[in-house]
């Protein structure tokens, strides 16, 4: 029995724009079309991590950091039985890089309404629902900048036990 090729996660480069666009278009099954130029423009505000297996793109995560809060704005994984392992690999790498940058928390921006299966998927990785109104100020601002209102719920994972109360 042949071993399955290893899953690799790496930072995306502008040269990956065409592959990313094709991956998104394949997942959306023609509902919406994205071209390489739109992906390159997105690089201006979002960093991307790519999950690859045997040089095939199987997942991507778009994220940004502001005020010590990592925000996952784009998250797409290919279909199949590997969804959990691909999701774990992408989120783990993002969290690792966010911790290096001293982030206090990671926030996921999910589709609304959020299907319960998707909430459970993220719970498996340590993300928990929190009311925006009950978050610390910087975290609340990050959620609100992502379009959430005070009475809405956001999926969040603390990345540090102690919050930064003075500028670093």
* Tens digits of residue pLDDT in 47-81: 999 999 988 999 999 999 998 999 999 999 987 77
What CA–CA distance (Å, rounded) separates 96 from 98? 5
Concatenating the DSSP letter of every residue in 24-56 gives HHHHHTTSS---HHHHHHHTTT-EEEEEEETTE
What CA–CA distance (Å, rounded) separates 49 from 87? 11
The side-by-side arrangement of strands in the sheet containing 128-131 is 7-11, 47-53, 56-66, 69-77, 105-108, 153-158, 128-131
Convert 70-125 into a string of H (helix), E (strand) and C (coil): EEEEEEEECCCCCHHHHHHHHHHHHHHHHHHCCCCEEEECCCCCCCHHHHHHHHCC
Q: What confidence score (pLDDT) does residue 84 get?
A: 93
Question: What three-state secondary structure class fits 128?
Answer: strand
pTM, full prediction: 0.90
Q: Which of residues 27 and 52 earns the better pLDDT score? A: 52
Q: What is the pLDDT of residues 79-134, one digit of tens each?
A: 777 899 999 999 999 999 999 999 999 999 888 888 899 999 999 999 999 999 99
Q: What is the torsional sign of CA 19, 77, 60, 76?
A: positive
Structure tokens at 127: 């993300």
Give the residue extent of every domain in the chain. Answer: 7-158
pLDDT higher than threshold 90 for residue 165: no
Please name the fold of domain 7-158: Aminopeptidase (3.40.630)
Query: For 8-25, what is the mean pLDDT?
Result: 96
């Amino acid at each position: 029995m042949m071993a399955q090729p290893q899953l690799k996660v790496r930072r995306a480069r502008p040269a990956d724009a065409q592959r990313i666009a094709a991956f998104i278009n394949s997942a959306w099954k023609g509902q919406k079309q994205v071209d390489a130029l739109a992906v390159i423009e997105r690089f201006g505000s979002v960093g991307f991590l790519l999950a690859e297996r045997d040089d095939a793109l199987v997942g991507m995560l778009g994220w940004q950091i502001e005020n010590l809060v990592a925000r996952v704005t784009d998250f797409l994984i290919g279909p199949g039985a590997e969804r959990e392992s691909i999701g774990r690999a992408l989120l783990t790498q993002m969290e690792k890089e966010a911790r290096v940058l001293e982030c206090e928390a990671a926030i996921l921006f999910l589709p609304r309404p959020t299907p319960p299966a998707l909430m459970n998927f993220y719970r498996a990785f340590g993300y928990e629902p929190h009311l925006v109104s009950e978050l610390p100020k910087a975290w609340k601002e990050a959620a609100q900048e992502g379009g959430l209102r005070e009475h809405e719920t956001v999926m969040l994972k603390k990345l540090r036990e102690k919050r930064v109360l003075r500028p670093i």
